[in-house]
Amino acid sequence: MMAVAPGLSAWGLMTGVAMVKSGMNAVESVAMTLLVFAGSSQLAAIPLIASGAPILVILSTGFCVNLRFVVFSAHLRPYLMHLPRPVRLLVGYLTVDLSYVMFTRRFSAPPQDAVQKQAQLAYLAGGCVSNWLSWQGASLVGIALAHSVPMQWGLGFAGILALVGVACSLASSRLRLASAGIAAAAAVAAFAMPFKLGIVVGIAAAVGLCLMVEEYTPASRRVS
Amino acid sequence: MKDTSLWTLGVIAGLTLVTVVTRSFFFISSKPWTLPRWAQRGMQYAPIAALAAVIAPEIVMTQGHFIGTWQDARLFAAAAGVLWFFWRKGAGQAVLGTIVVGMAVYLPLHIGLGW
């Protein structure tokens, strides 16, 4: 898990800078990094908070960006169901993309006995703590340093570039690429809608059209 | 420094809840259950759509208007970042590379030429 710490730190650092550069003060930025603990949903929320979008639009955007975790949680369920619910929720909250990928790569099957349960939980907990520390440490440094960089440099744009990178990593099929294109075009076209609803319209149009196209694609040609 | 806004703290609390719920989604309840098929399929397309819907206006619009010029540092920075990502085929720290390459294009154009 330590192998991923440098990348995670760089991303945390930049998220810290992006929060402050969007106009959030130190208390808000620190609270956001310590509590929300989700880089891409934080970065997606930053421009929406800055423009005063309604809370429901911000939360639904964060939910959609986070939907990949819903998929991960289905995969992790058999590994974690032996734990009491509060512990499950804590483990879920702390398990970011990288912890999930490393954990499921190392343990291809859910635990069978008490020894395996303990070993798997120890590995996951260690990874989560190490990821949490590198992310939070770097974010706090970013928040502290952001004030010494002039606003005109536009460093906050690094946050948008991070989202561009994450979006590229999700573009694993033609329909997903189409989804991105439709959502982007619809969000720009519907930008004048009140309450930042253009974003919700963009997501709904993209998902709806992709599901319709999928419906009319022969099963043999489907790639998920 | 501006005052701490209660509204922003409320948004942060809401987003924290979103983090917990999405990351624990299928193991919150002790009973086994599944989503309807359309929702499962929709999850394939929603995350990239949400990102694109947030990113696109931040790159091609200024003050709520479509930019009428190609002389905008954001266009070149985003294009460079995307090219880098797919040139590296997403391997290793490709997202980090996208940020670094994009900013290496953005900063000189933005600060140097004022684009």
Asked if pLDDT for residue A94 goes beyond 60, the answer is: yes
Give the DSSP H/E element, type plus range, for residue B10: helix B6-24
Alpha-carbon distance B67 to nearest alpha carbon in chain A (angstroms): 11
Percentage, residues of chain A above pLDDT 70: 95
Q: Summarize pLDDT for A169-192 with one digit per residue, the tens.
A: 889 899 999 999 999 999 999 888
Interface-testing mutation among A164, A175, A213, with chain B (most B C-beta atoms within 10 A): A164
Closest Cβ opposite residue B26 in set A77, A188, A203: A77
Q: Tell me, what DSSP letter sits at residue B108?
A: I
What does the pLDDT average to over A12-31? 92
Contact A224, B44 (CB under 8 A): yes
Interface-testing mutation among A60, A67, A197, with chain B (most B C-beta atoms within 10 A): A67
Residues 26 to 65 of B: which have CB under 8 A from any A CB?
A: 26-28, 30, 38, 41-61, 64
What does the pLDDT average to over A159-166? 87
Instruction: Supply the pLDDT for residue A45.
Output: 94
User: Pick the residue with more confidence: A14 or A30?
Assistant: A30
CA–CA distance, B66 with B51 (Å, rounded to integer): 19
Among A14-18, A128-132, A157-161, B74-78, which stretch is predicted with the lowest mean pLDDT? A157-161
Global pTM reads 0.81
Q: Is residue B92 very low, low, confident or very high in pLDDT (cuts 50, 70, 90)?
A: confident
Instruction: Supply the pLDDT for residue A223.
Output: 55
Q: Summarize pLDDT for B13-50 with one digit per residue, the tens.
A: 999 999 999 999 999 998 877 778 888 888 889 889 98
Instruction: Supply the pLDDT for residue A117.
Output: 93
Instruction: Name chain A contacts of B10, Cβ cutoff 8 Å.
Output: 55
Interface-testing mutation among B6, B9, B22, with chain A (most A C-beta atoms within 10 A): B22
Q: Does B79 touch chain A (CB under 8 A)?
A: no
Instruction: Supply the pLDDT for residue A4.
Output: 63
CA–CA distance, A223 with A214 (Å, rounded to integer): 10
| SS3 of residue B62 by DSSP | strand
Q: What is the mean pLDDT of chain A?
A: 88
Tokens of A107: 């343990």
- The ipTM (two decimal places) reads 0.86
Give B47's contacts (C-beta < 8 A, 6+ positions apart): A64, A65, A66, A67, A68, A170
